[in-house]
């Protein structure tokens, strides 16, 4: 089973891996810390100490990951101040960060299926109905697709960025 590569892409040497959107995304969110920080942000964590503690990473690792996610535009850094204390920063999901939810949920769903011994510890439910939520690959007409039902081709409107 594999995706059909069409046209010039059928020669794998015609496409440079560094031009791949997956590779570019992994440059930003491709670490364990980054994905787990996103998980915590979806849970409502906004403060540095909360991320470091809940993800189980050092302050230096949390600082590095939060800086990278902020510089990329996935999180926005905002100042806050508790009464009588110094100004600190909180980290808020941006639209770009919110758009990563299906990615994180896909990893969660995969982990549930293959790594949790048949019974996942948590369930993902639609708030309004209580029905289970799952991530799927679907075509524009709404049909669920498997890997061998996909095709990839070069976008005729895409141009290599000049440097």
Domains assigned to the chain: 4-152 (1.10.10.10)
User: 80-131, pLDDT tens digit by residue?
Assistant: 988 999 999 999 999 999 999 999 999 999 999 999 987 899 999 999 999 9
Of the listed ranges 13-22, 50-59, 104-113, the least confidently predicted one is: 13-22
Residue by residue, what is the 3-state secondary structure of the chain? CCCEECHHHHCHHHCCHHHCHHHHHHHHHCCHHHHHHHHHHHCCCCEHHHHHHHHCCCHHHHHHHHHHHHHHCCEEEEEECCCCCCCEEEEEECHHHHCCHHHHHHHHHHHHHHHCCCCCCCCCECCCCCCECCCCCECCCCCECCHHHCEECCCCCCCCCCC
Mean pLDDT check: name the lowest of 8-12, 61-65, 111-115, 141-145. 8-12
Query: What pTM was computed for the model?
Result: 0.88
């Amino acid at each position: 089973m594999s995706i059909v590569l069409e046209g010039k892409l059928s020669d794998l040497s015609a496409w440079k891996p560094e031009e791949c959107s997956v590779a570019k995304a992994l440059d930003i969110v491709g670490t364990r810390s980054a994905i787990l920080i996103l998980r915590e942000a979806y849970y409502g964590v906004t403060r540095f100490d909360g991320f470091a503690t809940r993800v189980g990473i050092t302050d230096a690792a949390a600082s590095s990951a939060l800086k990278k996610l902020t510089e990329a535009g996935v999180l926005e850094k905002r100042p806050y101040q508790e009464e009588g204390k110094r100004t600190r920063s909180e980290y808020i999901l941006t639209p770009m960060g919110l758009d990563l939810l299906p990615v994180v949920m896909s990893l969660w769903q995969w982990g549930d299926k293959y790594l949790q011994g048949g019974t996942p510890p948590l369930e993902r439910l639609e708030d309004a109905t209580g029905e289970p939520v799952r991530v799927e690959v679907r075509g524009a007409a709404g049909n669920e697709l498997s890997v061998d039902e996909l095709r990839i081709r070069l976008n005729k409107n895409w141009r290599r960025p000049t440097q």
